[in-house]
Amino acid sequence: MRAAFRRIDAIARKEFIHIRRDPRMLIAVLVMPVAQLLLFAYAISFDVSDVPTVLLDADMTAASREYLASYERSDFFDVVGRVDSPAEIDDVFDRSEARIAVWVAPGFARALERGEDGKVSVLIDGSEPNSAQLGQTYALALNQQLDREIAVEWVRAKGQDPEAMGGIGANVRTWYNPERRSADFLVPGLMVVIIMIVTIQQTAVTLVKERDQGTFEQVVVSPIRRSELMVGKVLPWMAIAFVDIIAITLIAITLFGIPLRGDVFTLGVGALFFVLGCLSIGLMISARASSAEVANLTGLMVGFLPGFMLSGFAFPLNSIPRFLQVISYLFPGRYMVTITRSVFLKGASIDVLWPQVAALALYATVGLALATVLYARRAR
């Protein structure tokens, strides 16, 4: 075991020396505007539709059912389920299973019969400002339209004068990000994009450099094992990635005033598996790339495009085509964006985010194993 640690330490120190001597790590960020331009031109849509919505009917009357049915008929609201208590709304929001919750209070129908306002609450997840703002606008517009339609139909059924009836009083509130600031939404996701680009692109050329510098054969014939080589290669980039994560977190809190409401331990564990998953992608690219240029370009495209387009960083994933939503599960950025935003804005902890953390842990394990197998085949 001690000999294994010495071999891993030797590889890690060697990699640190290569990093210190390579200025291209800083130049790589200059290519980002070009890739970003292509991304905006071909892949991004800011149209928000089918926003996941849950319904809570605490009145259980014909009037309340008819009112909630209007949300099910809407093209904007996608009713994904119903809850039985206000506490379940908070749980659904924490798990990012819905972004809007419509709550009809008890006494809704009786209030309409007495000519008073029926109480309705529309709760909006403000961790995504674009959907929150549009959700508030659509909810208010829908309630204004239904204010007269539902009430008139209900009062006429009772044989009363529609002019003497009450209306619907909708109380719309935004949770987690009441001011709907874009910085609160973008910075936690930006952390994920930056880490994906740095780790994947730079690790993608690490094994190619061994071949270009003529040290690949020496590594192959050395007593070091393939798994030890992989660990030694990823350790320096793990250290750099965590320095970036700490720096971005401090800047987010101090400069942008973004609250860190959740569990730092959950953020750290998620970041650990996320970084390992990204490093495994870079090592797989490096094991198969024919040259440093190919590895560099492939690493940039694989790191930037999925990180920006398929992670939920810039826009909701439910607004992109279905097949792209399925593909997004193949990249670690999707899970990490949920973790960062939930920890920063929602105060979530491991008991809520364990599915995302577990997915990243599985991703990192499988990815590093595949990278080791690909490197062994290349060595043979």
In a shared domain, residues 163 and 194: no
Number of domain units in the chain: 2
Number of H helices, E strands in the chain: 16, 5
* Tens of each residue's pLDDT in the chain, 380 residues: 666 677 777 777 777 776 677 666 656 544 554 455 455 545 555 556 678 899 999 999 988 888 888 888 887 888 999 998 888 988 888 888 888 899 998 988 888 777 677 788 888 888 877 667 767 777 776 776 666 665 566 556 655 555 555 556 667 777 887 776 777 777 788 888 888 887 888 788 777 766 666 555 555 556 667 667 777 777 877 888 888 888 888 888 887 788 888 889 999 999 999 999 988 898 888 877 777 778 778 887 888 778 878 888 777 787 778 888 888 888 998 999 999 999 998 888 899 999 999 999 999 999 888 888 877 676 55
Same domain, yes or no: 329 and 358: yes
Pairing between β-strand 168-175 and β-strand 77-82 as defined by DSSP bridges: unpaired
**Residue 194 shares a structural domain with residue 338:** yes
Q: For residue 88, give its domain range.
A: 51-175
Question: Which among 143, 175, 207 is the end of a domain?
Answer: 175
* CATH number of the domain to which 138 belongs: 3.40.1710.10
Tell me what pLDDT residue 218 has: 57
Q: Are 309 and 255 found together in one domain? A: yes
Domain boundary among 151, 175, 199: 175
Do both 201 and 277 map to the same domain?
A: yes
Same domain, 191 and 309: yes
Asked if 147 and 25 sit in the same domain, the reply is no
Write down the pLDDT at residue 45.
Answer: 52
145's torsion region: left (phi>0), alpha (psi -120 to 50) or beta? alpha
Is 88 buried (19+), middle (13-18) or exposed (0-12) by CB count in 10 A?
Answer: middle
**Are residues 21 and 113 part of one domain?**
no
pTM over the 0.95 mark: no
Domain boundary pick from 175, 192, 224: 175
Specify whether 243 is located in the same domain as 347. yes
Measured CA to CA, the distance from residue 157 to residue 63 in angstroms comes to 11
Residues across the chain:
380
Q: Give dist(CA 240, CA 364) in Å, integer.
A: 17
**Residue entry with tokens 């890739």:** 35
Q: Please tell me whether residues 258 and 365 are part of one structural domain.
A: yes
Q: Which sign does the torsion angle of CA 100, 103, 109, 113 carry?
A: negative
- The Cα angle at residue 310 between residues 307 and 314, in degrees rounded to 5: 75
Q: Are residues 162 and 284 in the same domain?
A: no
145 and 258 share one domain = no
